[in-house]
């Protein structure tokens, strides 16, 4: 890549730092801003450690060259002016997202695109008064974005189609997997799919049908094996002799019949307390941080496995 225009990263917590790594890994100069100096100070040490983990998994080569592309900035303007793309990952409230969007809007290049890491608040809630609001959309990653490739692109009603195209092209270029939503919907696609599965899992646990660990095992040693490399539709397409239509003819009645009416509502306090006790017996609170690092190590190896087997999408 000959002298690419830089990418701006606004908000440098874990999500923003992960994004900085994604863009730098792909060869882009990255300019990172966070209002808190102590947060900025953690970016490069964190990136260095994460790159070492990626090297262990065989996923990156020269760490120093990647790190050298990340520049820390003291102002929003320094991070955003001249950037062709800006990823915003500030705290997830309408107030924080609105403030950050207006600050970016004031100094951005007119042709730049701004993606928000928002996991639930749609862009229409925090970009309406931006002068460049047609250039804003949600670009929602899974945490950590340098390990989990999917990103959801969710346009506001006023987002220009070519802004979505630019974000989609960029995401493919940096080896993420963009998923395009046609319009805003609560929870987008990913958390809606996670949500219905969680709601049912909590209800089964509440009803005493199985332990938390056994419900987890049905996914981790069952459904999750196929879902690690093919989605639910391809899964059922292969699970009946005549494909998805045949599967639907055989099983839609079964699946319609097992839906709960009314749908299970907010997870009850007492059920959460029981689940917490079961989880803390399996994994003490003091070990959560270490287990997250273990998870990320496995994710890195699984991503390397998928690359080796041409499953990277």
Q: Please, which of residues 127-156 interact with its own copies by CB under 8 A?
A: 142-143, 147-150, 152
Considering only residues 6-35, where is the footprint of its own copies by CB under 8 A?
A: none
Binding residue for its own copies, selected from 229, 270, 281, 307, defined by CB under 8 A: 229
Task: Please state the closest distance from residue 155 (CB atom) to its own copies, in A.
Answer: 12
Task: Please state the closest distance from residue 84 (CB atom) to its own copies, in A.
Answer: 24
How many degrees, rounded to 5, is the angle at CA 219 between CA 214 and CA 222?
100
* Cβ–Cβ < 8 Å for 159, 134: yes
Q: Residue 36 or 193: which CB sits closer to its own copies?
A: 193
- At 306 the three-state DSSP class reads helix
Task: Please state the closest distance from residue 107 (CB atom) to its own copies, in A.
Answer: 32
How far CA 63 is from CA of 2, 52, 134, 312, in Å, comes to 20, 7, 36, 22
**Residue given tokens 């749908």 in the structure block:** 263
What does residue 163 show for φ and ψ, rounded to 5 degrees?
-70, -40
Q: Residue 107 or 166: which CB sits closer to its own copies?
A: 166
Tell whether residue 200 is a contact of its own copies (CB under 8 A).
yes
Using the contact rule CB under 8 A, the part of the chain among 1-9, 44-52, 77-85, 295-303 near its own copies is 295-303
The rounded distance, in Å, linking the Cα atoms of 203 and 91 is 31
Dihedral sign (CA 26, 29, 34, 40): positive
Q: Residue 77 or 199: which CB sits closer to its own copies?
A: 199
Q: Residue 67 or 203: which CB sits closer to its own copies?
A: 203
The rounded distance, in Å, linking the Cα atoms of 211 and 153 is 36
Binding residue for its own copies, selected from 64, 161, 265, 270, defined by CB under 8 A: 265
- Taking residues 155 to 194 in sequence order and writing x for each that binds its own copies by CB under 8 A, - otherwise, the string is ----------------------x-xxxxx-xxx-xxxxxx
H helices present in the chain, as ranges: 14-25, 37-56, 63-68, 76-80, 94-107, 161-173, 190-206, 212-218, 224-227, 232-237, 244-257, 269-282, 288-308
Beta-carbon count within 10 A of 141 CB: 24
Tell whether residue 217 is a contact of its own copies (CB under 8 A).
yes
Considering only residues 241-260, where is the footprint of its own copies by CB under 8 A?
A: 242-245, 248, 252-260
Binding residue for its own copies, selected from 4, 125, 302, 307, defined by CB under 8 A: 302
Task: Please state the closest distance from residue 289 (CB atom) to its own copies, in A.
Answer: 9
């Amino acid at each position: 890549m000959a002298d690419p225009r830089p990418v701006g990263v606004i908000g440098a917590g874990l999500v923003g730092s992960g994004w900085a790594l994604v863009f730098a890994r792909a060869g882009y100069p990255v300019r990172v801003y966070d209002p808190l100096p102590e947060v900025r100070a953690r970016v490069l040490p964190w990136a260095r450690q994460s790159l070492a983990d990626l090297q262990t998994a065989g996923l990156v080569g020269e760490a120093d060259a990647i790190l050298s592309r990340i520049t820390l900035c003291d102002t929003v303007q320094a991070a955003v002016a001249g950037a062709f793309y800006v990823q915003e990952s500030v705290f997830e409230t309408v107030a924080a997202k609105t403030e950050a969007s207006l600050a970016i809007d004031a100094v951005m290049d007119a042709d730049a695109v701004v993606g928000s890491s928002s996991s639930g608040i749609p862009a229409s809630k925090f970009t309406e008064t931006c002068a460049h609001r047609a250039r804003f959309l949600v670009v929602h990653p899974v945490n950590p974005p340098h390990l989990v490739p999917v990103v959801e692109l969710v346009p506001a009603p006023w987002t220009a189609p070519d802004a979505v195209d630019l974000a989609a092209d960029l995401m493919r270029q940096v080896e993420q997997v963009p998923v395009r939503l046609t319009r805003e919907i609560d929870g987008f696609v990913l958390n809606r799919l996670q949500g219905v599965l969680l709601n049912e899992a909590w209800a089964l646990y509440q009803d005493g049908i199985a332990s938390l660990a056994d419900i987890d095992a049905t996914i981790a040693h069952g459904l999750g094996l196929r879902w690690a490399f093919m989605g639910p539709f391809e899964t059922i397409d292969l699970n009946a002799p005549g494909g998805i239509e045949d599967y639907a003819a055989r099983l839609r009645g079964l699946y319609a019949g097992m839906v709960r009416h009314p749908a299970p509502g907010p997870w009850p306090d007492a059920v959460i307390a029981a689940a917490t006790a079961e989880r803390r017996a399996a994994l003490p609170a003091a070990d959560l941080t270490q287990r997250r690092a273990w998870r990320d190590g496995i994710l890195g190896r699984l991503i390397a496995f998928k690359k080796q087997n041409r499953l990277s999408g």
